[in-house]
Each structure stands twice: as structure tokens, then as C-alpha cells.
Structure 1
Amino acid sequence: MQRIPYFDFLRGIAIIMVVCLHCIDFSAREGPVLNFFGVEFRNLLNAAVPLFLAISGYFMANKKVDSPAAYKSFLKKQAVKVYVPMLVWSVPYLVLSYLHRESPVITWLLFFFGGFSIYYFIILIVQYYALLPVLQKMGRSLRGGEIAVAISIICICMLEILFYGYRLEIPLIVYAGPFPLWIMFFVTGIYLRNHTFDTKYVYLPVILFYVLSVAESFIIMHCTGQVTGLGIKVFSFLFSLYFIIMMFVSPLKTHVAAHKDHLVIRGITRIGELSFGIYLIHMLVNMALNKFAGYHNFNFILVLAISIAVIVVTMKLAPASIRKYIGFS
């Protein structure tokens, strides 16, 4: 896949957001700190996974999958590229599950179907690869994009009812793993690869839906009496949609290209190049850090730094054949 520096920059932003999302315990923040910082920041981070999906859709938009041979070759290459590293990095969770005497059947199902940690994303992206011929057709027209948005909004509304109305506890892989929930973001990436978008129609919806997303969080927390409603919400999805469009078409693209050698921009771009590896290992790093050094909300800085160091050292020492299977290529 041809690398475009600006999209590596976006990946860098997205993976930093993901690490923050997973290393900061927003549920433990109470009172003024939560009200002033936690809800607002958490709602901003909600765009991380959608941004990754849109970037993936953008690069899959024109893949040749219009014949059985091309489709089979594409699936074999792309699915294995993400699925095998997921299995490798799921092994520590598999061992821990056995040590905790969990059901062997459930344990192996979780192992093969991305049920450990945050690996639902791998299963999700494999589904989009499998559906790519259909998704490409959807992403080539505004009507197809509208259908994708409608599907995602219906799904997120249903989840809100189940989570906040019926107070159901649903495993992450069950509600976040199926493709319909996030389909609007992948299709949006495809659409933006083939169409232009006037930036003047973007900024107001970004601000509006972000404010509504924050407000929705406070309403849900007030109604449930718990620190919840920070991630799974309609307005969070709509904010993420317009945030993606803004990041794809804004003048920031020109600025990044013009200042690509700036220390910060170069650093974020490099992080973006390593983003898949960081995604795969950062939760393991976070778990180890919390166990041996104790939890702190600013551990995300150490987790990011350690993850990057592990990947860079491995890339220097391990042969390409090994790096391919652990997701560090």
C-alpha cells in the first residue's frame, strides 16, 4: 500500500487518541475534574476508531476486487496481514485466561474471534475487507453513503437503548465487532477518496455535534447516576463523521505537507507509520506498567513511549519474515 505522509500523520493522531482512551480511567474521575476535563476530553477521543476506519476505507476505495481471482488474492493478502498478528498478540491473554480457569471453549472462541482486549477491531476490519466490493459501490455515490450512515445510526440508537435504557452489560466483541455499527465511517473514507467536499459545510457541524455529544454524556450520567455514556452515543457518531471529513479536506493537509520536516509533524507522522504495531501491543504494555509501577492517568505517555521503543528495536533486530507475523512490518 502506497504511503501518503498526511494520512500517516492522521494515523499518528488517531493512535495517540486510542492510547489516551485506553490508559486514562475516566470512570474513576469524579467531581469538578470529571466535569471540566473528563467528559469533554473523552468525547473528543471518541473519533479515534472512526478515523482509523475512514483512513482504511480511503485506501481500500480503488482496490481491484472486481473479479473472483482479484478478490481472492486481495482477501488472502489483507486479511492474513492483520489476522495473524492478532493471534500472536492474543497469546498472553489466552494464557492469562487459562490461569484464571476460564471456560476453555469461551477462551478459544475469544482467541480466534478477536474477543481478547481491543482486538475486535481486527475482526471488524476483516469483515470490511470481505465486503469490499459492496462497500466500494456504496462509497461511490451520495445515496450509498447516506444508507451507510442510516445503518450506523440505527445500530447506535439500539445500543443506547440497551445500554442506558435496559442497563444491559454486553461484551465489547459482541456490540463493537459486527460490521453494521461502524459501516458509515469505512464508507465515508471510500466516498472521500472519490469526491470532494466543501470545507465551509464542515466546521459548524463538527462544533455542534461535539457540544451535543458532551451534553448527551451529562444527561445519560444524570439519568443513570453513573459515570457512563461517554462513548456509545448517536451524537458521538455524528461528531466523528464530520470530524473525519474535516480532517480529510481541511487546509491542515497543505500545512502538514509544507512543514513535513517540523519536529512535531515528523514525530506524529512517524508514530502513524508504527500505529498498527502500537495498537497491537499498547494494552499489554499498559497492563504490565499498571502492575509493576502502579496506575496513573499520565501513564499513557509511558505506554506510548515504551510501545514505540519495543517496535523500533524489534524492527532493527528481527528479520522481515518475523516482523510480518507480529504486525511490525
Structure 2
Amino acid sequence: MIIEFAFTTIIAALLLGVPFLRRMYFASLVKGGNTEKGSKRIEYFDFLRGLAIIAVIIIHIGDLFLKNSIGSREIIYFVNDLMRFAVPFFLISSGVLLVFKNPKEFYAKKITRIFIPYALITILVGMFYSLSFFDIAHGILSGSASVPYYFLSVLLQFYILYPFLERLSKKRGFLYFSFILTVLALITKEVWAFYDIPLFIRYLFFFAYGISLKNRFLNSEVSYTKPEKYFWVGSVFVYIIIIILIVIPNVEIGGYFYNTRLFYAIALFNVFFIFKEHIEKFFAFELFSSLGKNSLWIYLIHYFVLQALFAIILKIGNAFYFQYLIFVIFGVPLSVVASLFTKKIYNSFFSLLIIKPVK
């Protein structure tokens, strides 16, 4: 935690204080273009969310080893720190893709597609553990029913605030303000939660970034200058070098980074658009896009699958690297299959009711 706080503060100061870095990091603000929200544009965001959900699963695989004090912390920390683009990718994508024209339609869609499945799973978990009505209700608000659910609580806050933030995004300095506010929140633990309910402030910049650069990322041709390309690609490499040379050797004082990857995630997001034309030709592009389309259900179910599988993995000797490899090889596809199966049951059940099945 100490390293993460220091890393965040120093890099933020450099980005705001050094004119060249500030121009590069916020350069995209001056570029717009016509929004083209065609199927190909949306599919690319499905691909990015597909990558993000796989990263989430891998993070939680490592988390289970850490909680049980098993294996090499250095390896787990390194993989974890590389995967921490996951939640930011989801938030940036949401900021880009959200459209608020009809309030009733907007919130009805979010309730039926996200909140009801999330609340239902939380209720089932609460019933399994014989929790009280109050505890279940608090679990829905706080995301405490399962390790990853905090994000859904944060996401729902952003959906509520979206009309307000969307209007603010037209104000000069909105993105700079959200950046500074996010950095201050990252280093002030007192604003991370309210009565155990995680607050959105630490994640504001990612969502604001997506809203502010909506036109650019939805444009049919996202262009980057040569200095921008070098800056974004170089930023990713610098982050990895810092992780290897500084963070991992000092795991005792905080080598484990969390989902507030304010710089790495933004850089990597832009790198994926720099190489977008090449990535769309990638043989597994359609597969990851499909995972992205089903990312909600994978997010809801995967941790329960991993917990069950981990109990089995522990019985396979005590060779950490072998256990970790087996866990990843089986944990990812089993999480996906279980999630799709659960989604099918949900849709089959609710197709008999008024509620429209999740697409």
C-alpha cells in the first residue's frame, strides 16, 4: 500500500506538472470526430471487456493463493499488477458506450440487465449462509456477498450519477478535475467507503475518461500522432519495468496493487486502440468479444467456481507453479461455462415473466 500511494502521488504530480507529459496524457481531449456507434465499434469494446473479465478471473486465482499463504508472492504480485487494467477497462467502456436520452428507458434497462441478476445472486448467497434480511440488503448495497461484487455497487453509483456527469463533461476542466479528485481519493482511505459501502470517488477518472473521449473512441478511425504512440506504448513498458525493479522486490511494504491503476490502465487502453486494426484480425478476437458480451454473468459467478475448484487444487501436491498453472487452465473455462449455464437458467425462468431476458 505504501508503494502504491507513493507511486500514485509521484506520477500524478509529474503528469500535471510537466507540460510535455500533461499534453500527452490529456492530448486526446482536443480530438473529437463524429461518433459512429456501429456494430464494429461496439464489438471492439466487447473484445476489451472480454480481456478484462479474463484478467479478473486471473486476479482472483492469485488472491485465493495469497489468502491461504501458498506459493510465491512475487509471482502472484507480478501477475496481479499486470492484470489490474480490468476494472478500469470496464469503467472506461461504460463511460464511452452509455447513452442517456430517455431516463425511464435508461434505468429500466440497467435494472433488468444488471441489478436484478446481481440482486438475485446476492439473495441466493444470503439464503445459503442463512443471513438476515438486513444483511442481505446491506450485501446488495455494499457488494459484500462475494469478493468481486464491490465493483457492481460502484457501477450502480455511476449509472445513477451518469446524467449529472455527462452534463459536467461538457465543462472545461472536467477531466482535469476528476483526475485530481481521483488521485486525492486514492491516497485518502477515509473516502473509500461509507458504512462499508464502497464509494465511486476512487474510480471517477476512469468513468469520466470514457465520457469525455466518447467521440474519439467511437470514431470510425481513431488516430494517434507518432509522439502519442510512443508515449502510450512507452508508458506501459515503464510501468512493467517499475513493477519488476521496484515493486516486486519490495513486496513486504506493499507490492500488491489494486484496481486503481490510474496510469497503466489508461495507457494500455490507448495502446489497444493504437493497434486496433491489427487486433481485430487476431484469431481469438471473436472469442474474446463473446466473453465480453457475457462478462456480467462471468463476473457474478466466477468467484464461487474458483473457490470450489481451489479446494480440489490444494489436494494436487504442494508444487505451487503446477497448482497455479492447473488452476488457470481449468479455472477460466469452468468459470465461463458455469456462468453461461447460470445465465441460461435465468433467461429461461424470466422468459416466462414480464422481465426481458438478458442479452
Fold match by TM threshold 0.5: yes
- Return closer, same or farther for 1:218/1:255 CA change in 2, 3 Å cut-off: closer
Decide which of 201, 211, 229 is 1:190's aligned counterpart.
211
Residue pair 2:112, 2:358 contacting (<8 A) in 1 also: no
Residue pair 1:82, 1:327 contacting (<8 A) in 2 also: no
Task: Write the deviation string for residues 265-292 of structure 1: whole angstroms up to 9, x where unpaired.
Answer: 2222222222111111101111222345
Distance 2:56 2:180 in 1: 25
How many Å apart are 1:173 and its aligned residue? Answer: 8.8
Equivalent position of 1:300 in the other structure: 328
Equivalent position of 1:72 in the other structure: 104
Residue pair 1:43, 1:214 contacting (<8 A) in 2 also: no
- Return closer, same or farther for 1:250/1:56 CA change in 2, 3 Å cut-off: same
- Return closer, same or farther for 1:321/1:107 CA change in 2, 3 Å cut-off: closer
Equivalent position of 1:254 in the other structure: 277
Residue pair 1:256, 1:265 contacting (<8 A) in 2 also: yes
Unmatched 5+ stretches in structure 1: 163-169
Equivalent position of 2:43 in the other structure: 5
How many Å apart are 1:238 and its aligned residue? Answer: 1.8
Equivalent position of 1:90 in the other structure: 122
Distance 2:256 2:312 in 1: 29
Distance 1:104 1:211 in 2: 48
Equivalent position of 2:84 in the other structure: 46
Q: Which amino acid aligns with 1:289?
A: L
Distance 2:256 2:336 in 1: 28
Q: Which amino acid aligns with 2:87?
A: V
Residue pair 1:79, 1:126 contacting (<8 A) in 2 also: no
Q: Does 1:136 align with 2:166?
A: yes
| SS of equivalent residue, structure 1 residue 131 | helix
Q: Does 1:150 align with 2:150?
A: no
Distance 2:259 2:294 in 1: 30
- Return closer, same or farther for 1:79/1:276 CA change in 2, 3 Å cut-off: same
Equivalent position of 2:150 in the other structure: 120
How many Å apart are 1:320 and its aligned residue? Answer: 7.7
| SS of equivalent residue, structure 2 residue 196 | helix
What is the TM-score normalised by the length of structure 2?
Answer: 0.71
Equivalent position of 1:238 in the other structure: 263
Equivalent position of 2:138 in the other structure: 109
How many Å apart are 1:142 and its aligned residue? Answer: 6.7
| SS of equivalent residue, structure 1 residue 42 | helix
Task: Write the deviation string for residues 55-114 of structure 1: whole angstroms up to 9, x where unpaired.
Answer: 111101xx134xxxx22331232234211111111134213432xxx6764444124442
Instruction: Map 1:277-296 to 2 at 5 A.
Output: 277-291=297-311, 294=314, 296=323
Distance 1:23 1:112 in 2: 25
Identity %: 22
What is the count of residue pairs matched by the alignment? Answer: 298
Task: Write the deviation string for residues 188-236 of structure 1: whole angstroms up to 9, x where unpaired.
Answer: 112222236544231222222343455664476333xxxx4412487x3
